[in-house]
């Protein structure tokens, strides 16, 4: 048996989303930018998908820009605004690299978080001034799961940087939080299909009416000149189906998965001395279980867990697979020694009791083995 506990890295596709793709990989292959019947059919599919995604994100259909990933949505938000408006970009210190690196590239500023991973509102106020044109704070963190209060952040931004637009990376929040409500006071929202049971390589940026964006991709002028490139019609149709089901099932999934997560983390804390839960469970998404285990190295632990059927990760997944010290844990004040033993177990809608049982059977003995044998 395998327990897949890496849903923050990616999710298995929902069967309905796979079904939604297939017609567009077969007969309905038209290019939605064209004029004939097949093209019009594809355009209709993209428009229908746009309506569903807009509904799930609480915006108007015209405000949805389909992109090739969550990363592209984040880059479009940061570079798109800054290249049009100039000024300074500001983000939290625990953003995904898809936000952090663009902000750093532009010479922007990062804002400290507390031990729970919550943005320090005083530090935010200090980082802001009239020259700031974009502020980016993720709705839920990909490593430790901390949920930010975007309403409180909006308040500080409105007071200290009135010209700034507020962007939120809601890629990890979407399975667990009503993004339409939680991000209602932001101008820009990024999401990604493969974190909610959709395909990889599809995402969206919500850019509310009036937000000026310089496109990253120039060409055929698709997406109202904001993102050129022929639409991935199959991927977009599947993305919409994943959004529809995620929103429909969210409340029951959150309740069920939060109980599984609590059993998992409480079980690990009880069974493994020297284990510390990262952050504060009261302000985390339901699918996140993150602990730091003293006296073990994540990489060695993950190797043993995989051997015994538990697939997890240490920090966020990055292209190289290399485990750099996590900037998120460092920003939360977790020391390097403890951070070396970080373990992220991320649950998803398909997670069941048996996955938790296996993890609780396997992880304590793997830790014991590593502590005994180095």
Please pick, from the candidates 6, 63, 169, 223, the single residue that binds ligand PLP as defined by CB under 6 A.
Answer: 169
Q: Which of residues 296-355 bind ligand PLP (CB under 6 A)?
A: 316
Catalytic pick among 59, 91, 292, 318: 318
Give dist(CA 94, CA 290) in Å, integer: 15
Strand ranges in the chain using DSSP code E only, listed in sequence order: 3-4, 64-67, 88-92, 109-111, 132-136, 165-169, 188-192, 203-207, 275-277, 288-293, 310-311, 342-346
Cβ-based nearer residue to ligand PLP, 149 or 316: 316
Cβ-based nearer residue to ligand PLP, 169 or 187: 169
Cβ-based nearer residue to ligand PLP, 205 or 334: 205
β-strand 188-192 against 165-169: which pairing, if any? Answer: parallel
CB 304, min distance to ligand PLP, A: 24
CA angle 208/211/213 to nearest 5° reads: 120
Cβ-based nearer residue to ligand PLP, 171 or 370: 171
**Cβ contact 83:218 at 8 Å:** no
β-strand 288-293 against 275-277: which pairing, if any? Answer: antiparallel
Please pick, from the candidates 63, 64, 71, 247, the single residue that binds ligand PLP as defined by CB under 6 A.
Answer: 71
Give dist(CA 342, CA 363) in Å, integer: 13
Please pick, from the candidates 32, 56, 70, 197, the single residue that binds ligand PLP as defined by CB under 6 A.
Answer: 70
Q: Which of residues 8-67 bind ligand PLP (CB under 6 A)?
A: none
Give dist(CA 199, CA 259) in Å, integer: 27
The site string for ligand PLP over 141-160 (x = CB under 6 A, - otherwise) reads: -x------------------
* Catalytic residue flag (residue 318): yes
By Cβ distance, which residue is nearest to ligand PLP?
Answer: 70
Q: What b-and-e string marks burial along 161-198, b requiring 16 or more CB atoms within 10 Å of the CB? A: beebbbbbbbbbbbbbbbbbebbeebbbbbbbbbbbbb
Please pick, from the candidates 4, 46, 57, 69, the single residue that binds ligand PLP as defined by CB under 6 A.
Answer: 69
CB 295, min distance to ligand PLP, A: 28
Note whether 192 binds ligand PLP by CB under 6 A.
yes
Give dist(CA 167, CA 134) in Å, integer: 7
Cβ-based nearer residue to ligand PLP, 63 or 74: 74
Positive or negative: CA dihedral 333, 314, 276, 347: positive
CB 213, min distance to ligand PLP, A: 18
Cβ-based nearer residue to ligand PLP, 275 or 288: 288
Can you give the length of the chain in residues? 374
Q: Which of residues 88-107 bind ligand PLP (CB under 6 A)?
A: 96, 98
Give dist(CA 275, CA 175) in Å, integer: 27
Active site residues: 318
Query: Residues interacting with ligand PLP, by CB under 6 A?
Result: 69-71, 74, 96, 98, 138, 142, 169, 171-172, 192, 194, 203, 316
């Amino acid at each position: 048996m395998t327990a897949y506990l890496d849903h923050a890295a990616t999710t298995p596709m929902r069967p309905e989303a796979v079904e939604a793709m297939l017609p567009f990989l077969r007969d309905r292959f038209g290019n939605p930018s064209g004029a004939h019947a097949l093209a019009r059919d594809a355009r209709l599919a993209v428009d229908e998908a746009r309506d569903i995604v807009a509904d799930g994100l609480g915006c108007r259909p015209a405000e949805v820009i389909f992109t090739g990933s969550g990363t592209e949505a984040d880059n479009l938000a940061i570079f798109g605004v800054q290249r049009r408006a100039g000024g300074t970009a500001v983000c939290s210190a625990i953003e995904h690299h898809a936000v952090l690196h663009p902000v750093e590239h532009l010479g922007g500023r990062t804002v400290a978080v507390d031990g729970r991973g919550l943005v320090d509102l005083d530090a935010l106020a200090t980082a802001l001034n009239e020259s700031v044109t974009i502020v980016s704070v993720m709705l839920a963190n990909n490593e430790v799961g901390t949920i930010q209060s975007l309403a409180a952040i909006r308040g500080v931004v409105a007071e200290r940087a009135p010209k700034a637009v507020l962007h939120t990376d809601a890629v990890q929040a979407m399975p667990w939080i009503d993004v339409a409500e939680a991000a209602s006071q932001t101008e820009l929202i990024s999401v990604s299909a493969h974190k909610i049971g959709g395909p990889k390589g599809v995402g969206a940026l919500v850019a509310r009416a009036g937000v000026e964006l310089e496109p990253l991709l120039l060409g055929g002028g698709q997406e109202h000149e904001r993102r050129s490139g022929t639409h991935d019609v199959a991927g977009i149709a599947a993305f919409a189906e994943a959004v529809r089901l995620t929103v429909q099932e969210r409340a029951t999934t959150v309740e069920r998965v939060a109980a599984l997560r609590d059993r998992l983390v409480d079980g690990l804390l009880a069974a493994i001395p020297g284990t510390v839960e990262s952050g504060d469970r009261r302000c985390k998404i339901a699918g996140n279980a993150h602990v730091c285990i003293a006296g073990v190295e994540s990489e060695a632990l993950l190797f043993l867990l995989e051997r015994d059927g538990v697939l997890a990760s240490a920090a966020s997944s990055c292209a190289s697979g290399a485990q750099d010290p996590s900037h998120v844990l460092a920003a939360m004040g977790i020391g390097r020694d403890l951070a070396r033993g970080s373990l992220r177990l991320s649950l998803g809608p398909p997670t069941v009791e048996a996955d938790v049982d296996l993890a609780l059977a396997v992880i304590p003995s793997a830790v014991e083995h590593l502590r005994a044998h180095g």
